[in-house]
């Protein structure tokens, strides 16, 4: 008897095998990230004004706790440059022990945010604000650490650092400056070396090289101060004796900034690999647990760090084991080799921080925000972070982003242009009360008594704007002028004139674009000058519409096709006005080589009519089309004329329809053809047989026969149900016309 226990082992065995396979990639990746994390953690602790060991504690806890509990499998967490300014200010105001309590409570708040499942709300923050914040932090770090490189002491604020920098430049301390500049030089050069060399992390190379040089040369410079026994943690976070409002504000600030940075890093990490996607709510919970542990042990706040995460992915990590192992390697290093850290010059770490801070001002990000029109938000956030503080800078950025978004939502482009002997006023966007000053200025510049076309391309028209337009139209017409209102899209103004409310645009029924809607549907709604009414053709008005609106949209495509004619399909269909080949095939300019005639007929190749034959030869032999489609349709007038007879005086039509005689004979002698499971009768049944008859006749043309024999061309039979707006393809296996999806699947 086989028990359930005997069935169970295969799955765990498969999991164990996969975990073992992952370790082959995770262990090397974790070692690389470990080598990157050590100098960065020390440098960030130095920049924050915290004990140097606090950076190592945060790196260990971030790797192990956040790695195990977080929702982003390949993200690596630890102390981040993005929090250095906040932590430095917090330490200055509250002291280190209270700062650790703030970190613990910030972690608890992160866990609550994760449990409330609102993590994705952080993604609503404009990228311009986030990048501006990081750039501001980078500038702040650079301004502070330049003083350390030059042998001096950083001031209490970025502005103070900037003002004192010229004096510091005049009095550099030789050895410290040499080591700091050398560190930066190594980092700059390392990124340009071959990939095989760059497998060794640049920060590690720079710090080790400069440290060895300083020790070998016996340089007397300030170095890292590490306790004799780093693991002897006797630390308890403390709460402040007062100032609880500022304390609470600091907790919220650390929690929010750490959360946003972690979530954005997780999203960016997801874009670098094809493995499991991040669970952002779980990631917040993991980050919160790591911060509670780090603060309790005297460590810096923890966030997801894009530098370490990207290194982890590039190094081939497959699972969260890489992040956990990197934390264990740091712990092992601290336990065994912590004494080596005392040899690292502070100027070397300052040089590393200058390099890291400068990279936070990312030129690629600046180009992105410029391209999207968000550069003012970026710059305001950056300046706010540097000139005031991080929280204020971010809040200013959020406020400006909200104003920019409001302007975009309510933007309206308004201009007037001469149109022949009259004027055309064009209004685009959302026309609200905020646009009234500009609208009023433009309308007041229109000469009295002139003919005006008011072209409204608006997706919303509020009450105040409607009142202004309506009043201006009335006064202009009272003065002897003419106002024609041409609404492109939803008729907001027309609704208002009819006494209907201008509702929110979400409640507006859909309106077909003019390029799609039949002329009879949209041109009747377009006003005309009385003396021109009835004399201007629909075709001409359509041409004007194309020239004014559509031309600029299709010009880039057509310019590429100007000297290229390479259609893939020869499309033979009826001249019926209801059949629009590009519409029912979702194709565009350059895709279809189309032959249209009455009844989509193909004369015998030996007939006197050579026009079709010439088109076929041109399509197959010259254009090298890959497929030929014969498309018939329901309610076909040609098939109706062939079945019931054409008018006696339509001699040319009667002569042409003789080519449909074989189709009529085929319909009489062969079984009925079904379409989507139903068997139509009469004209529609004849149209189905006619499609197949024309496909067979195409194969009699030598040009097509040779191409099909070579496998260069494929023939299809298509049927379009006009009333149902459905396209059907013929399936030889079933002998019927079926849905396109089914036919294509069978063909593949």
* DSSP per position, 611-653: HHHHHHHIIIIIS--SEEEEEEETT-HHHHHHHH---TT-HHH
Helix, strand, coil percent values for the chain (each to nearest 5)? 60, 10, 30
Mean pLDDT of the chain: 85
**The pLDDT value given to residue 17:** 60
Least confident of 88-97, 282-291, 632-641, 643-652: 643-652
CA 528/CA 484 separation, integer angstroms: 7
Q: Would the pLDDT of 47 be above 80?
A: yes
* Of 665 and 489, more confident: 665
**Which pLDDT tens digit goes with each residue over 428-461?**
888 888 888 889 999 999 999 999 988 888 878 8
Over residues 386-396, the mean pLDDT reads 83
Q: Would the pLDDT of 236 be above 70?
A: yes
CA 268/CA 440 separation, integer angstroms: 47
Least confident of 2-11, 545-554, 667-676, 683-692: 2-11
Q: Would the pLDDT of 685 be above 80?
A: yes
Buried b (16+ CB within 10 A) or exposed e, 61-81: bbbbbbbebbbbbbbbbbbbb
Over residues 257-270, the mean pLDDT reads 86
CA 639/CA 657 separation, integer angstroms: 9
**Can you list the alpha helix ranges (DSSP code H) found in 461-574?**
463-478, 492-497, 519-522, 538-545, 551-561
Element spanning 484, H or E: strand 482-487
Q: Would the pLDDT of 311 be above 90?
A: no
Q: Closest by alpha carbon to 268, among 301, 317, 313?
A: 313
Over residues 219-246, the mean pLDDT reads 80
Q: Closest by alpha carbon to 518, among 578, 603, 467?
A: 578
Considering the entire predicted model, what is its pTM? 0.62
Query: What share of the chain in percent tops pLDDT 90?
Result: 41
**Which pLDDT tens digit goes with each residue over 120-132?**
777 777 888 888 8
CA torsion 355→359→361→367, rounded to 10°?
150
Tokens, residue 2: 């086989």
**The pLDDT value given to residue 230:** 62
Tokens, residue 405: 């978004």
Residue 557's contacts (CB-CB under 8 Å, 6 or more residues apart) are 588, 589, 590
**Which pLDDT tens digit goes with each residue over 564-623?**
999 999 999 999 999 999 889 988 899 999 999 999 999 988 776 788 999 999 999 999
Phi/psi of residue 189, each to 5°?
-70, -35
Q: Closest by alpha carbon to 284, among 298, 308, 299, 264?
A: 264
Residue 153, class by beta-carbon neighbours within 10 Å (0-12 exposed, 13-18 middle, 19+ buried)? exposed
């Amino acid at each position: 008897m086989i028990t359930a226990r005997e069935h169970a082992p295969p799955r765990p065995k498969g999991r164990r095998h996969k975990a073992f396979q992952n370790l082959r990639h995770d262990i090397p990746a974790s070692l690389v990230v470990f080598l990157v994390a050590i100098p960065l953690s020390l440098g960030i602790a130095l920049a924050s004004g915290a004990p140097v060991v606090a950076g190592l504690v945060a790196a260990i806890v971030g790797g192990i706790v956040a790695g195990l509990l977080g929702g982003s499998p390949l993200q690596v967490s630890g102390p981040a440059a993005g929090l250095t300014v906040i932590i430095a200010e917090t330490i200055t105001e509250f002291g280190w022990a209270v700062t650790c309590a703030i970190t613990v409570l910030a972690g608890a708040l992160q866990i609550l945010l994760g449990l409330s499942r609102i993590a994705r709300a952080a993604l609503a923050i404009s990228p311009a604000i986030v990048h501006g914040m990081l750039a501001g932090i980078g500038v702040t770090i650079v301004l502070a650490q330049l003083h350390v490189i030059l042998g001096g002491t950083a001031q209490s604020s970025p502005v103070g650092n900037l003002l004192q920098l010229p004096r510091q430049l005049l009095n550099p301390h030789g050895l410290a400056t040499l080591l700091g500049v050398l560190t930066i030089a190594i980092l700059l050069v390392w990124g340009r070396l071959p990939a095989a060399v760059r497998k060794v992390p640049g920060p590690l190379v720079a710090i080790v090289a400069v440290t060895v040089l300083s020790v070998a040369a016996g340089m007397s410079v300030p170095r890292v101060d590490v306790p004799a026994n780093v693991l002897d943690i006797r630390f308890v976070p403390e709460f402040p004796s007062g100032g609880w409002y500022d304390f609470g504000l600091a907790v919220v600030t650390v929690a929010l900034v750490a959360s946003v940075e972690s979530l954005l890093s997780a999203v960016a990490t997801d874009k670098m690999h094809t493995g499991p996607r991040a669970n952002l709510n779980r990631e917040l919970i993991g980050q919160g647990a790591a911060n509670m542990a780090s603060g309790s042990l005297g460590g810096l706040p923890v966030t997801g760090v894009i530098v370490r995460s990207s290194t982890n992915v590039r190094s081939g990590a497959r699972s969260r084991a890489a992040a956990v192992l990197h934390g264990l390697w740091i712990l092992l290093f601290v336990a065994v080799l912590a004494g080596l850290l005392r040899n690292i010059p502070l100027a070397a770490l300052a040089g590393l921080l200058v390099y890291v801070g400068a990279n936070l001002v990312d030129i690629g990000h600046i180009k992105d925000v410029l391209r999207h029109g968000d550069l003012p938000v970026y710059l305001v956030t950056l300046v706010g972070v540097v000139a005031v503080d991080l929280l204020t800078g971010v809040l200013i950025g959020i406020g400006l982003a909200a104003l920019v978004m409001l302007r975009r939502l309510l933007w309206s482009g308004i201009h007037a242009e001469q149109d022949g002997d009259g004027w055309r006023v064009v209004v685009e966007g959302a026309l609200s009360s905020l646009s009234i000053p500009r609208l009023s200025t433009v309308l007041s510049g229109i000469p009295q008594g002139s003919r005006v076309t008011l072209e409204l391309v608006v997706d919303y028209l509020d009450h105040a704007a409607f009142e202004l337009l309506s009043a201006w139209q009335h006064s202009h017409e009272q003065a002897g002028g003419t106002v024609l209102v041409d609404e492109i899209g939803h008729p907001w103004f027309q609704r208002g004139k009819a006494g209907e409310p201008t509702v929110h645009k979400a409640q507006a029924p859909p309106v077909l674009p003019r390029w799609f809607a039949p002329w009879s549907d949209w041109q009747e709604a377009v006003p005309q000058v009385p003396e021109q009414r009835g004399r201007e053709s629909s075709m001409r008005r359509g041409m004007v519409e194309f020239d004014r609106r559509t031309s600029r949209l299709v010009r880039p495509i057509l310019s590429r096709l100007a000297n290229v004619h390479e259609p893939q399909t020869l499309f033979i269909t009826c001249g019926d006005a209801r059949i629009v080949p590009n519409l029912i095939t979702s194709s565009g300019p350059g895709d279809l080589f189309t032959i249209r005639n009455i009844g989509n007929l193909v004369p015998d190749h030996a007939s006197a009519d050579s026009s079709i034959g010439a088109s076929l030869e041109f399509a197959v032999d010259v254009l090298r089309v890959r497929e030929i489609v014969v498309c018939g349709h329901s309610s076909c007038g040609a098939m109706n004329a062939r079945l019931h007879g054409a008018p006696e005086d339509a001699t040319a039509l009667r002569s042409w329809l003789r080519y449909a005689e074989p189709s009529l004979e085929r319909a009489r002698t062969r079984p009925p053809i079904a379409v989507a499971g139903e068997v139509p009768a009469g004209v529609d049944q004849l149209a189905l047989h006619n499609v197949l008859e024309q496909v067979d006749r195409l194969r009699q043309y030598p040009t097509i026969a040779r191409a099909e024999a070579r496998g260069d061309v494929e023939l299809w039979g298509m049927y379009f149900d006009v009333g149902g707006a459905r396209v059907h393809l013929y399936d030889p296996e079933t002998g019927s016309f079926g849905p396109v999806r089914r036919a294509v699947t069978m063909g593949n």
